[in-house]
Amino acid sequence: MMTVRCYLAPSSIEGLGVFCHEPIRKGDTVWRFDDRFDQRLPRSLVESADPVMREFLERYGYDHLDHPDHLFLDADEGRFMNHADQPNTDFRGADFGIALRDIPAGEELTCDYREFTFGELHMQPSRHRVAALAAE
């Protein structure tokens, strides 16, 4: 669950991104897994899911290095956090993410997917028509 006030907006990285409403200080927690809100799903659910659900889970679910038989799914804006090779957050803690530097209000929050992904990183095509909607 995001622990800072944030919003979704078009991202120059990919489709939608998570942006902070207020400045965040280096070391502040920006996200924390909350089992009352976020989901921990057995991988067998993904494998047996219908195609539409499977596409969604593969797109927004993520690995947890301590629980390889499960897929995790954020219930809030966190699922839209985009990857960056030089992110402004650190998710090596697995159950929380912290700001690596001061982040000004309005900046997109990014993370390095490799910090919590098993094997090779595979980026998927955009699922959102943000650019097309903005042009209409």
pLDDT for 64 equals: 79
Mean pLDDT over 60-64 rounds to 82
Stated pTM of the model: 0.82
pLDDT digit string (tens) for 28-52?
Answer: 999 999 999 999 999 898 889 999 9
> What are the tokens at 87?
């992110």
Asked whether the beta carbons of 108 and 17 are under 8 A apart, the reply is yes
Alpha carbon 94 to its chain centroid, in Å, reads 12
Phi, psi of 79 (to 5 degrees): -65, -15
pLDDT digit string (tens) for 12-33?
Answer: 998 899 999 999 999 999 999 9
